[in-house]
Amino acid sequence: MRGVLFPGGNVATIREFPEPRPGKGQVVVRMKASGLCGSDVHGLYEAPARVPPPSFVGGHEPSGIVENVGEGVMRLRSGDRVMVHHNKGCGHCVQCLGGWFNACEGPPDERGSYGWGLNGGFADFMVAEERNCVTIPDDMSFEEGAMCTCGVGTAYFATRRMDVNGDDVVAILGCGPVGLAGIMIAKAYGAFVIAADTVDYRVKLAERLGADMVINAKEEDTVKKIKENTDGRGANVAIDYSGSSIGRNNAVEAAALWGRVAWIGENNDLPEMTLSPTHQMLGKQLRVYTSRTFGMVQLKEIPAFLKRHRIQLEIMITHRYPLESVKEGIEVFRTGETGKVIFVWK
């Protein structure tokens, strides 16, 4: 089978591997769709070249068909359509027992992430723990399933944590794939959504996906524009999906008195963070959340939520590629002139 390795230095290498076999409690999934995430690009593809190069297959947004099952598998059968939660927990700590594999407190050698140390979904087949697999209904495409396993799930959980409702003005800062999903989900809850990004392509896509107002942050002052359109109050809810210091600062500045703020996007290097808790946060009585991915309960809830609210995730997909075009797909994604990029198998 084929699999993609990322040795760093803007290189993506396709290698041949033996077809994997499932261990106890595991299944082999024949890949049908695998999403490209910004963290794949920044954390793997663009990372400095490493010697020796990483040996694991990338890709943490997998969806496909169960090919075969290992000993002890009780719930899944060959032929089941599944999406795979990308965090593999130990399965027995308090966090894992609650479905929070992303917060596993077990021994380091018993936890990990598919596509980040464990072979992931940029391959024809992948091995996954049965407990990480969620069956998807027949009326959900594999592409939609792949999108739910990271970006859409992250936006869904963040929106739920923020208690978004129809009385809210929600500011979405950063309209990459996760932010775009956040727009659609906030609209499903009835909110008035203001979306901002520095890339005109994504600003226009945000409007097409339902944002009530859009801001090109390269041309306009985001905070000023939000306040001008909320009678000077600001947004009840401000969510930064960009992971940038500017986005996080703007989320706090754009939030109204008694507002809720969430920082979602990941970035380990934020030299320009200039927040003053006293002047920018305490005085406004803000509730500030950080929210990193989601748990198994949320992944299981998403298909019904999407169907109930008639959300068509496939509208977000602007580019589809076969696995052999992985480098082209990444390079196009890096331009910012895309919505969601998906690798697909026939």
Q: Is the pLDDT of residue 104 over 90?
A: yes
Cα 305 from Cα 302, distance rounded (Å) = 5
Q: Is the pLDDT of residue 291 over 90?
A: no
Cα 161 from Cα 100, distance rounded (Å) = 15
pLDDT at 13: 96
List C-alpha distances in Å: 75 to 14, 28, 82, 346: 33, 14, 12, 26
Give the least confident one: 8-17, 27-36, 273-282, 310-319: 273-282
Q: Is the pLDDT of residue 269 over 80?
A: no
How would residue 266 be classed by pLDDT, with cut points 50, 70 and 90?
confident
**pTM > 0.85:** yes
- Edge to edge, the sheet with strand 169-173 lists 213-216, 192-197, 169-173, 235-240, 255-263, 287-290
End-to-end CA distance of the chain: 15
pLDDT tens by residue, 183-239: 999 999 999 999 999 999 999 999 999 999 999 999 999 999 999 999 999 999 999
What mean pLDDT do residues 311-331 have? 97
Domains in the chain with CATH codes: 2-135+312-344 (3.90.180.10), 155-290 (3.40.50.720)
Q: How many CA atoms lie within 13 A of 311 on its CB side?
A: 28
pLDDT at 271: 59
pLDDT at 325: 98
Cα 186 from Cα 192, distance rounded (Å) = 8
- Tell me if residue 62 falls in helix, strand or coil: strand
What mean pLDDT do residues 8-26 have? 97
How would residue 53 be classed by pLDDT, with cut points 50, 70 and 90?
confident
36, 341 in Cβ contact below 8 A? yes
Q: Could you count the other beta carbons within 10 Å of the beta carbon of residue 200?
A: 14
255, containing H or E segment: strand 255-263
114, 86 in Cβ contact below 8 A? yes
pLDDT tens by residue, 146-159: 999 999 999 999 99
pLDDT at 279: 65
pLDDT at 276: 67
Q: Of the candidates 51, 71, 341, which has an alpha carbon nearest to the alpha carbon of residue 180?
A: 341
- Six token digits for residue 173: 């800062």
Cα 128 from Cα 123, distance rounded (Å) = 13
List C-alpha distances in Å: 173 to 8, 46, 166: 29, 24, 19
